Structure 1
């Protein structure tokens, strides 16, 4: 039987435990602009070289103003994820990173 306490309460502040390396989806929400897609690819190439481009999912909002881009990378550690999130948020096209 799995240890649910270990899976849900891994640290003192109840943050979930992530075992690295692992497949990690990153969703970027922003303006429907070709620059958003270019920026996301550039960031992923920098911090997760060799990520599988076939795992990119792009979805437009109903009115076409916004776009979500989901990329699955092999995350190697918390510093890598922090760098990716920080770099993505530096783009004026990016509204949110999940």
Structure 2
């Protein structure tokens, strides 16, 4: 029995990952590179949205998740990067 056996998510599945950062840097490329280390390219495209005042940007990438460990690796990589302020 692994630590992930009680996960409510059934794998494989399409899973959206959202990262938020400051506008003005190539944030989309950063997010794509970080996620690309652990998952194939986006399944449903990449969605980008700027904040109302244009200071922040969110990037949502839907990946084909194969395990909870894979998702944990993606979120750890995103959290470790200085340009990523928040993830959902």
> Structure 1 length normalisation: TM-score?
0.76
Relative contact order, higher structure (CA 8 A, sep 6+): 2
Instruction: Give ranges in structure 1 of 5+ residues lacking alignment.
Output: 1-10
- Structure 2 unaligned segments of length 5 or more: list them: 1-5
Query: Alpha-carbon deviations, 1:18-66, whole Å to 9, x = none?
Result: 00000000010111133321211101221112433x5210000011100
Q: Name the structure with the higher strand share.
A: 2
TM-score by length of structure 2 reads 0.84
SS state of the match for residue 57, structure 1? Answer: strand
For the aligned residues, what is the CA RMSD? 1.8
| Structure showing the higher helix proportion among its residues | 1
Question: How many aligned positions are there?
Answer: 84
Which structure is larger by alpha-carbon Rg, 1 or 2?
1
